[in-house]
Chain A
């Protein structure tokens, strides 16, 4: 394309972006079509990728196609391997796309579709994509070193220690909160529970097939497993209608919580090939297929959004979770805009596969854009629901009332009309006994997804199948995170304990495996139990805690990135990472302050502990008070540690910029690539 045509084409994209974002931002009153969000997102991503990421690549990182990457220099056929850039992109996206971008935006939809959409777009283009891109490149230039190692080298030992602790904290809180989401999606749902229970024998069958019958043929057995899962969804309907089966699979939240903890322990302690690996493959297969199907469904059916642009809950009185739009919308959305956890993947497997430095832009920046696109789809799925229905599903009974009549009266009084009969009809349509008090975001997302699909594929008659397909998709996805996350955390604990007593560090020593598995399951099980017993539904406390921990890890990653940029003599461009860093510090520190010290018991942990202590005592009071105090302590400790990293980083910048310390980067020496131009 010649220069004039390029200017004309990109100018048109810019105008379209401005128009679409303008419509999304200023439209009030009448419902808006979801296609405006899709167009706004597509244009913003295109502009961000074409101009902003190119600017970063050229002016700051100076990507060098001639510099050999670790995949080439250290190629060993195992971890380090020159790989096609699209394959790396797919691999990286599959690793970063978890349930976060689906759940966070659904919860944040209580503020309306506008705040979530704007933050997902701006946050991804200016913060999340930038973080993933620069950390990936810095790791590539350091032989694929991890974020923890880079933090230790560039900032100091405190940086490494904080990154390590933040990772453990995030894992534990994340596992607790995602387990709670599964519990809330499956409680009193024989259909959903049956389907998810069936995925365990299906995974075992896949494991045996892979090991004994057709070794290594993962794609074919995953396709077969997927068909079996579809049969399990169909069978779930039968189970839910069969009196004896329905009794067996109708489980209450505490029972499900215990079963999930037992499952997490077994998945961590059993041989990987038997349960964890096949389940991981099955989940990935379902994940990629469903995300693709949802994208096609939204574009083809372009549903109308019924949620207003902004709701009255921007004032902090929201029923889904308490807290004002700032900072809580930004904490809640998490992975759809920026996720510290991505920095671990950008400095984990991916840098060891990259064939050329120039590909880090497409993989790092591009894959995060795709993840952000998933978050936009989640916003659409939540906002196609009538607001009254959305709030009836997502509001805990402790806020809206224990009975259907009380809940609908409360929600209708907010200006979002809904009746108990509407909810009963919807529950019947999706094959559930009730949809009230299904906090956690997953059921609302499933209802939204079923609503979109049932508009064309099979109509209302198969809405129940779509709903349970969506629940299965989310639960399978989350349980995979749960078992893999428990294992990752187990390894990290074993690594640390190995410094104290060598045998504890041996991953094949069974006493150590059992002890550390039990320790990790007990840690996330504590948060899960806390959520199950929480009168406010658990999500109100735990999701912000997870969001804060995740964004604090992003703060550490951006500290590392800014320090390296300063040391690279590119300080005049440091705003590229310093801007998101300053924003994240403002968001996370404000959110932490509110979560610890806010006098409103629905927001502040300590205020809630005081309110509980002052109320008439029940058998659970002491435990609830302790839980809230512990949550406050965890938040305060995380903030305190990240403050130390910030102070150390600022000190480093000051030393380098004032010339008191040489600006030396710890990159691997330049080696000319031997790869032909067409490889990768």
Chain B
């Protein structure tokens, strides 16, 4: 049961990483601001340049 729980947690963490939710949380921690439309806007601005430069495979 413990292993199943751990697998579920890793799956959720993977999805949160893939969907950039973790990146947003790290941004909030690093900049020490609360989540808000403005904070998310600033996050996207900082994050997008790097993210959209990433190659995407065929």
One digit per residue, 1 when the CB lies within 8 angstroms of any chain A CB and 0 when it does not, for chain B 29-58 equals: 110000111011101101111101111111
One digit per residue, 1 when the CB lies within 8 angstroms of any chain B CB and 0 when it does not, for chain A 581-598 equals: 000000000000000000
A218 touches B21 (CB 8 A): yes
Provide the residues of chain B in CB contact with A487, threshold 8 Å.
52
Query: Bound state CA distance, A273 and B46, in angstroms?
Result: 12
Provide the residues of chain A in CB contact with B37, threshold 8 Å.
211-212, 215
Chain B residue at minimal CB-CB distance from A174: B58
CB distance from A486 to the nearest CB of B (A): 10
Known: A78-B50, A90-B18, A284-B18. A97 touches B57 (CB 8 A): yes
Provide the residues of chain B in CB contact with A217, threshold 8 Å.
21
Residue from the list B19, B39, B54 in contact with A348, Cβ < 8 A:
B54
Query: Bound state CA distance, A98 and B56, in angstroms?
Result: 8
Query: Bound state CA distance, A487 and B15, in angstroms?
Result: 24
* A507 contacts the other chain (CB 8 A): yes
One digit per residue, 1 when the CB lies within 8 angstroms of any chain A CB and 0 when it does not, for chain B 8-36 equals: 00100111111111001111011000011
Point out which of B14, B52, B56 has the most chain A C-beta atoms below 10 A from its C-beta.
B56
* Chain A stretch 338-359: residues in CB contact (< 8 A) with chain B: 339, 341-342, 344-345, 348-349
Query: Bound state CA distance, A91 and B57, in angstroms?
Result: 12
A481 touches B20 (CB 8 A): no
Query: Bound state CA distance, A480 and B48, in angstroms?
Result: 15
B41 touches A77 (CB 8 A): no
Residue from the list A167, A216, A341, A342 in contact with B24, Cβ < 8 A:
A216
Provide the residues of chain B in CB contact with A215, threshold 8 Å.
24, 35-37, 39-40
B57 touches A100 (CB 8 A): yes
Query: Bound state CA distance, A546 and B58, in angstroms?
Result: 10
Residue from the list B18, B21, B44 in contact with A91, Cβ < 8 A:
B18
Query: Bound state CA distance, A100 and B16, in angstroms?
Result: 25
Query: Bound state CA distance, A638 and B54, in angstroms?
Result: 23
Query: Bound state CA distance, A276 and B44, in angstroms?
Result: 12
A211 touches B57 (CB 8 A): no
Provide the residues of chain B in CB contact with A98, threshold 8 Å.
56-58
* Interface residues of A, Cβ cutoff 8 Å to B: 77-79, 81, 83-84, 86-87, 89-91, 94-100, 167, 170, 174, 178, 210-212, 215-219, 222, 272-273, 276-277, 281, 284-285, 288, 334-335, 339, 341-342, 344-345, 348-349, 480-481, 484-485, 487-488, 491, 507, 546, 550
Shortest 5 CB-CB distances between A and B: which pairs? A215-B40, A100-B58, A90-B14, A216-B24, A218-B19
What are 24 A-B pairs with beta-carbon distances under 8 A?
A77-B27, A77-B30, A79-B50, A86-B14, A95-B54, A95-B56, A95-B57, A99-B58, A100-B57, A211-B41, A215-B36, A216-B35, A218-B20, A219-B15, A219-B16, A276-B52, A277-B44, A335-B57, A344-B57, A345-B54, A349-B54, A488-B53, A488-B54, A491-B52
